[in-house]
Amino acid sequence: MKPTVHDIANLAGVSLSTVDRVLNGRAGVRAPTRKRVQDIIDQLGFVRDPAAVNLAKGRVYTLTFIVPSNDNSFMQALRAEIAEARERGASERVQIVLVTVPAFDAEALGLAIRSAVETGPDGIALVAIDDGHVRAAVSIAQEAGIPVVTLVSDLPGSGRCHFAGIDNEAAGRTAAALIGRFLDGREGSVGIIAGSLGVRDHRERYDGFRQGLGRDFPTLTTLPVIEGLDEPERVHALTARLLADHPDLIGIYSLGAGNRGLIRALAAREAGNPLRVIAHELTPHTRQALADGLIDVILNQDAGHEVRSAIRVLKSRADGQPVIAAQERIRIDIFLKDNLP
């Protein structure tokens, strides 16, 4: 059984308030008494529980989340999870401020981080862009003692304390392994649709996919990547052009968002070569496309898990406590129409 402050007080023959003064380094305790209490603390191996202390003090953690404002389904889901966490805030002693910035706008993201630092939150979580503006702003947060967690897209080497997201290179390799097996030795070209290679998660997926396909499936040729900026209308136009310009197209890997546009183009496609399609994120639109056979596989990350993980990590950092790595690992979920939840 863990020792308590009551045990310390009883063994040292002092009041609970005296124990509290010693634990918190406050004045009002004579040196011999302070030493006696500290000796008992050391003998018992007493370790303070920050969560219990904060609960007793009524501490509320203030956290700022900075995410893109674009309307693709995954970012909508991410913002919805943050909103739900904000509603739970009273019971979890968390106050969340949600800030949105234009997608892929590194300067706007950097300014948002700097503005958040000025408010002095206990932590900041953000969807990162690998850019100097963002790295400089994260360094300012670090210098101010404010921990930063990256969501979805990472920014290693920036001073951020944790990444809450999937292994994106592994996701790209997984997509290559699946599409290669589905195509089963056929010869032809595979199109790749990204949001922007300016964000690390898309670039890592792209690199993993090309490496996996080139290594294990030499009969397949990857076409130059096209960037849809996660905008459904742009993705629709680019996909329609891809289908029209490449009659030997037998596979598509959509590694970003904007899949509503991809699905529209696939639905309007005339009969031709059988086409295998892999995309990211299980949304109402991609779920229906799986059921309809327009998409073969969805690689998914749990937005709710990422938000909850960011909150746990930032609270732990604020308390100076270690992070449980296994609890915070975000899985890559693989969905076919046969195993939809």
User: Quick one: 254 and 106 in the same domain?
Assistant: no
Q: Does 339 fall in a domain?
A: no
pLDDT of 15 over the 90 cut: no
Q: Does 131 fall in a domain?
A: yes
Strands 276-280 and 249-254, how do they pair? Answer: parallel
User: Quick one: 116 and 89 in the same domain?
Assistant: yes
pLDDT for 57 equals: 54
Q: Tell me the average pLDDT of the chain.
A: 92
User: Quick one: 145 and 208 in the same domain?
Assistant: no
Residue 9 belongs to domain spanning: 5-48
User: Quick one: 294 and 307 in the same domain?
Assistant: no
pTM summary value: 0.81
Q: Does 338 fall in a domain?
A: no
User: Quick one: 312 and 293 in the same domain?
Assistant: no
User: Quick one: 161 and 307 in the same domain?
Assistant: yes
Q: What is the pLDDT of residues 128-172, one digit of tens each?
A: 999 999 999 999 999 999 999 999 999 999 999 999 999 999 999
Q: What is the pLDDT of residues 306-339, one digit of tens each?
A: 999 999 999 988 887 788 888 899 999 999 999 9
pLDDT for 53 equals: 56
Strands 249-254 and 188-194, how do they pair? Answer: parallel
User: Quick one: 116 and 180 in the same domain?
Assistant: no
Candidates 11, 76, 57; CA nearest to 284 is 76
User: Quick one: 79 and 154 in the same domain?
Assistant: yes
DSSP state of 338: G
The predicted model gives 248-256 an average pLDDT of 97
Q: Does 341 fall in a domain?
A: no
At 54, is the pLDDT very low, low, confident or very high (cuts 50, 70, 90)?
low
User: Quick one: 133 and 105 in the same domain?
Assistant: yes
Task: Dump the DSSP string for 114-181.
Answer: HHHHHH--SEEEE----SHHHHHHHHHHHHTT--EEEESS--TTSS--EEES--HHHHHHHHHHHHHH
Q: Which of 52-61, 86-95, 175-184 has the highest mean pLDDT?
A: 175-184
What's the CATH code of the domain at 16?
A: 1.10.260.40
Structural domain tally of the chain?
A: 3
H/E stretch holding 184: none
What's the CATH code of the domain at 160?
A: 3.40.50.2300
User: Quick one: 111 and 147 in the same domain?
Assistant: yes
User: Quick one: 97 and 71 in the same domain?
Assistant: yes
